[in-house]
Amino acid sequence: MAQHADPTKSGQRKPGPRPKYQWDTWMDGEWWRLSEGDDYKITTISFRSIAHSHGARHGYRLHTQLADDGIFIRFVKRDI
């Protein structure tokens, strides 16, 4: 017999590829220091571009500061 169910509580992950980066964690409004080679495997400049694009698609503005071995990032929700 059919019954109502919530698939998000089934314990299985959603279909599709696993996220490459921890966007949900990093988009909490706090500053994060990410290390090239550990947190991302591309150049810092390329990662910064990807992060800007990801933030824009989700309604966030990205603030960055380059570090010796990576980058500091902070996502801030845009006011609409």
Helix (H, G, I), strand (E, B) or coil at 4: coil
Query: pLDDT (tens digit, 0 to 9) for every residue of the chain, 80 residues total?
Result: 656 666 666 555 567 777 789 999 999 999 999 999 999 999 999 999 999 999 999 999 999 999 999 999 999 999 86
Residue 2 has what pLDDT?
58
Instruction: Look up tokens 């220091």; give the residue.
Output: 33
Residue 76 has what pLDDT?
97
Q: How far is residue 53's CA from residue 44's CA, in Å, rounded to a whole number? A: 14
Residue 31 has what pLDDT?
97
